[in-house]
Structure 1
Amino acid sequence: MSKAHTRKSSMVAHPSKVILRFPDFVAPVPYPLRVHRLTKSVSRESEEWLLSMAEFSPKQRSKFLSLNAGLLSGMCYIDCGYEEARVCADFMNFLFTLDDWSDEFDTTGTRGLAECVMNTLYHPSTYLSNAKASKLTKSFWDRMIKTAGPRCQQRLMSTLDTYFQAIMQQASDRGHKNIPDLDEYITLRRDTSGCKTGFAFIEYAGGIDLPDEVADHPIISALADTTNDLVSWANDVLSYNAEQARGDTHNLVCVLMQAYGVDRQGAINLAGELWKQTLDYFMATKETVPSWGPEIDRQVAIYIKGFEDWIIANAEWSFETERYFGKDGHLVRKTRQVELLPLRRKATFVHLSDDSLMLITIQFVLFDLAVEIMASRGPRWLPKLFALILWRSGGYITIHEDAGENTVSFAVMPRALV
């Protein structure tokens, strides 16, 4: 047996630990996994593209590179040329970056981010901004609109706008510690997932531009919604461990626990049953697609094939990225179980003694300027420093302590990346 199979891992089950067991989101899917032939080179170029403008800290850079969003893009958009593959990968990397940025903001900060991005999309020639979000948006958008059809362009803009509205609601729920009911969550999750924007890229990559009456047809809409649910719910289950550890409740598992009064494993099992029922519904609904004539039928077939690619791509990629399981993705795929992570402790000033010597990293963003202040002395001077930083940045302070580490990170974020 190789070392890769015998090494110790935090994901391996131990008798004294709480174990989460996952449903199989790969085997039931009848669609083959396909990968774009240029995925490796396109992924590398796309990562370099985003890193050149995002101005990440070393920690953010490492986290971003471990994401491997270019692989997901290559699994979702297969039958296209190099230029289209690059734009798709660039948007995929950008979308995950937007998601991470928005997680740090309240509704006001998210609204500012949304205005920056949407103004760049709607007014690419006249809206000028030095914000990172605007530069990234303009870069992929200028290339995309060269070949994307007008309806495809409009669908991307409208679905991205919907995405921002939804994550503002998510931010509000997070701030009020609100868990929506199941129906509300399903509707909201279809928008926060970002899948609707990804479906616009099925058209772009496939060289099609569906008429609105076709894209909005009840059967096509049902296929889009069920694909969205299959992707989102599998993601919720597989990311639940990491999300619960940081206190995030925007997750199907949390919603089902509240709705049905079950424990976390019962909710995971129920989520798996809902997912399988939805997969069956997708396959049955696909058989009822009407005909609009040879040319439109050809485009619809490409669109539906894109849904199929998304379903299997998401399931497979979840174990290839380090976003959910670190470097243990392949092991988790084999065992379909993880140890429940402890809830990360929140740190406040009272947790820090004046005579303790701690390495404190303070990271904040001020008008696109990333500054790191390192201190190895006691924290008695911190309140004045925080007050100064807060006043200068016009932002807010997020304080957390990583469990098991002797490091406390104080993140001071601006109200918007504009």
Structure 2
Amino acid sequence: MEIDSLDWIKSFKSISEKKMEKFARYGIMTLTVTNLKRILADPSYTLSDDGVLENMCRSRFYADLFVRHFICYLDSVVEETQDRETGRLRSRTEHFDLRRRNLGMVPSMDFVCIQFHLSDDMIDQEVIQRMTITTTDLIGIANDIYSYNVEQAGGQKCVVCNLVDVVLRERGRGVQDAMDIIEKMYRDLFLSLVDDYNNFPTFKDAEQDRVLKEYALGMLD
């Protein structure tokens, strides 16, 4: 099942081979409904080929965390849909508030958290929270830059829910000016992410430090 599913995803050629390898590494495609139902009914049930989702369902903490984050993501998608239907134009602050939720980054990171066995306290570390927000903003900015021309080419006079449009409305100096501003914004955010990693604090014990450092490194990858 996993091989067939991964081959199907690869057939769309939507992501590079390198990124596909990372996607496959987390075992996201190993989930089967039968396994999931069994594990939810009996957390002690084990399999020889457990994947990340099976492990997540076995842990009440991670299951609740994922459901909470995924519901937040679904609610944000509804918000974006309403914005597009009504033509609501958000400020820069409002745009980032929505973008951090509708990218699906937070529930996606839950798959990674379980691989590192991160506890609630570890996830809530100030520097981890800050790096997570910064990483999400970087992904959102890149996504908006890539999608701006696509949406504009589709005949939209005003590209709602896109940072390029937000900056254009703020400054009124054309697309290139907006791109220059966004480029600086992206560079500053990336440098702050690197700075957080280079000055990563130490915590309770060596093993916790090692795990958190590896997790933080993944955000830079």
Give, as a single letter, the amino acid of the residue that structure 2 aligns with 1:163: Y
Tell me which residue corresponds to 1:9. Answer: none
Please state how far the C-alpha of 1:251 moved relative to its aligned partner: 1.1
> Secondary structure of the equivalent of 2:89?
coil
Please state how far the C-alpha of 1:202 moved relative to its aligned partner: 2.1
Cα deviation code 1:266-308 (max 9, x no counterpart): 1111111100010111112221434221222122122112211
Which of the pair has the greater relative contact order for Cα pairs under 8 Å at 6+ separation? 1
Which of 170, 187, 190 is the equivalent residue of 1:259?
170
Which of 84, 96, 103 is the equivalent residue of 1:193?
103
Tell me which residue corresponds to 2:46. Answer: none
> For the structure 1 residues 260 and 176, does the alpha-carbon distance in structure 2 shift closer, same or farther, using more than 3 Å as the test?
same
Tell me which residue corresponds to 2:72. Answer: 162
Q: Considering only aligned residues, what root-mean-square deviation do their CA atoms show, in Å?
A: 3.0
Which of 184, 196, 204 is the equivalent residue of 1:292?
204
Cα deviation code 1:7-64 (max 9, x no counterpart): xxxxxxxxxxxxxxxxxxxxxxxxxxxxxxxxxxx7764243x79xxxxxxxxxxxx7
> Secondary structure of the equivalent of 1:210?
coil
Residues 1:212 and 2:134 are matched in the alignment: no
> Secondary structure of the equivalent of 2:130?
helix
Tell me, yes or no, if the aligned pair for 2:193 and 2:220 is still in contact at 8 Å: no
Larger strand percent? 1
Compute the TM-score of the two structures, normalised by the length of structure 2: 0.77
> For the structure 1 residues 162 and 212, does the alpha-carbon distance in structure 2 shift closer, same or farther, using more than 3 Å as the test?
same
Which of 50, 60, 67 is the equivalent residue of 2:14?
67
Residues 1:304 and 2:216 are matched in the alignment: yes
Tell me, yes or no, if the aligned pair for 2:27 and 2:51 is still in contact at 8 Å: no
Which of 253, 256, 268 is the equivalent residue of 2:179?
268
**1:51-200 correspondence runs (5 A):** 65-68=12-15, 72-75=19-22, 85-87=26-28, 125=37, 143-148=51-56, 150=59, 151-200=61-110
Cα deviation code 1:78-102 (max 9, x no counterpart): xxxx7x5441x689xxxxxxxxxxx
Q: Distance in 2 between matches of 1:170 and 1:266?
A: 26
**1:333-412 correspondence runs (5 A):** none
Tell me, yes or no, if the aligned pair for 1:195 and 1:228 is still in contact at 8 Å: yes
Q: Distance in 2 between matches of 1:302 and 1:213?
A: 16
Tell me, yes or no, if the aligned pair for 1:74 and 1:85 is still in contact at 8 Å: no
Q: Distance in 1 between matches of 2:189 and 2:18?
A: 25
Please state how far the C-alpha of 1:160 moved relative to its aligned partner: 1.6
> For the structure 1 residues 67 and 162, does the alpha-carbon distance in structure 2 shift closer, same or farther, using more than 3 Å as the test?
same
Tell me which residue corresponds to 1:46. Answer: 6
Residues 1:281 and 2:192 are matched in the alignment: yes
Tell me which residue corresponds to 2:148. Answer: 240
After TM superposition, the runs of 4+ consecutive aligned structure 1 residues lying more than 4 A away are none
Give, as a single letter, the amino acid of the residue that structure 2 aligns with 1:292: K
Cα deviation code 1:352-381 (max 9, x no counterpart): xxxxxxxxxxxxxxxxxxxxxxxxxxxxxx
> For the structure 1 residues 244 and 280, does the alpha-carbon distance in structure 2 shift closer, same or farther, using more than 3 Å as the test?
same
Compute the TM-score of the two structures, normalised by the length of structure 1: 0.43
Give, as a single letter, the amino acid of the residue that structure 1 aligns with 2:14: L
- Give the share of equivalent positions with the same residue, in percent: 20
> For the structure 1 residues 288 and 85, does the alpha-carbon distance in structure 2 shift closer, same or farther, using more than 3 Å as the test?
closer
Structure number with larger C-alpha Rg: 1
> For the structure 1 residues 249 and 47, does the alpha-carbon distance in structure 2 shift closer, same or farther, using more than 3 Å as the test?
farther
Cα deviation code 1:124-173 (max 9, x no counterpart): 649xxxxxxxxxxxxxxx95343337344333322221111111100000
- The number of residues matched between the two structures is 200
Listed as ranges, the gaps of 5+ residues in structure 2 are 39-49
Give, as a single letter, the amino acid of the residue that structure 2 aligns with 1:298: R
Tell me, yes or no, if the aligned pair for 1:47 and 1:65 is still in contact at 8 Å: no
Q: Distance in 1 between matches of 2:64 and 2:89?
A: 32
Q: Distance in 2 between matches of 1:307 and 1:267?
A: 26
